[in-house]
């Protein structure tokens, strides 16, 4: 069986991060975890771009622009949605998730969903660099792997 896998190699590629300001106390830690993981895998500082949007609902539209630019091997979307703070939690989560997935499918550029969705602020903090790891760092690994995998699959996005 021929097996195709992506390695965690930067390959000189450029990566874009899109982060939402809502709950930025948490999201900034996701951004730091993500950028740190990319740098530790050899990604050049010059090859990292960070764009801020107001909330997670706005992640897809910015991700689409970045993905369509053709400059980036992957776009990493980072945000924090906390149920306790919004009655439209489900809407924001659903639109962010389906929007990011649609950008990925439509452009062929891997768009990584690094949005923490929790019931409480405490749970969100745990996923942003304390008890439960850092979802931004996990998103960076997914981006490296997908960016390396896609060219190996052949064809076009």
> What does the DSSP 8-state code read for residue 75?
E
Find, among 99, 98, 76, 67, the residue nearest to 19 by Cα: 76
C-beta atoms surrounding 146 within 10 Å: 17
Q: Which residue is nearest to ligand INI (CB)?
A: 55
Q: Residue 103 and residue 99: Cα distance in Å, rounded?
A: 6
Q: Kindly list the distances between the CA atom of residue 48 and the CA atoms of 83, 105, 125, in Å, as whole numbers in the listed order.
A: 31, 22, 24
We find the least distance from the C-beta atom of residue 5 to ligand INI, in angstroms, to be 33
Establish if 20 lies at the interface with ligand INI (CB under 6 A).
yes
We find the least distance from the C-beta atom of residue 113 to ligand INI, in angstroms, to be 13
Residue whose CB is less far from ligand INI, 34 or 147: 34
Establish if 43 lies at the interface with ligand INI (CB under 6 A).
no
Q: Kindly list the distances between the CA atom of residue 154 and the CA atoms of 32, 107, 149, in Å, as whole numbers in the listed order.
A: 33, 16, 10
| From 36-44, 56-64, 68-76, 101-109, span contacting ligand INI (CB under 6 A) | 56-64
| From 9-17, 32-40, 53-61, 148-156, span contacting ligand INI (CB under 6 A) | 53-61
Which listed residue (41, 47, 88, 126) is catalytic? 88
We find the least distance from the C-beta atom of residue 85 to ligand INI, in angstroms, to be 4
Find, among 3, 59, 65, the residue nearest to 27 by Cα: 59
Any catalytic annotation for residue 10? no
Can you give the binding site for ligand INI, defined by CB under 6 A?
20, 22-23, 54-58, 79-82, 85-86, 92
């Amino acid at each position: 069986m021929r097996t195709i896998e992506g390695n965690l190699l930067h390959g000189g590629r450029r990566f874009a991060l899109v982060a939402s300001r809502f709950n930025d106390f948490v999201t900034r830690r996701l951004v730091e975890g993500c950028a740190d993981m990319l740098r530790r895998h050899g990604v050049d500082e010059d090859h990292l771009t960070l764009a801020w949007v107001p909330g997670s609902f706005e992640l897809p539209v910015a991700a689409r622009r970045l993905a369509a630019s053709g400059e980036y091997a992957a776009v990493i979307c980072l945000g924090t949605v906390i149920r306790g703070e919004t009655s439209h939690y489900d809407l924001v989560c659903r639109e962010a998730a389906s929007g990011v997935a649609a950008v990925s499918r439509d452009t062929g550029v891997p768009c990584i969903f690094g949005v923490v969705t929790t019931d409480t602020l405490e749970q969100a903090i745990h996923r942003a660099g304390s008890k439960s790891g850092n979802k931004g760092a996990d998103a960076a690994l997914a981006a490296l792997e997908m960016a390396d995998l896609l060219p190996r699959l052949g064809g076009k996005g």
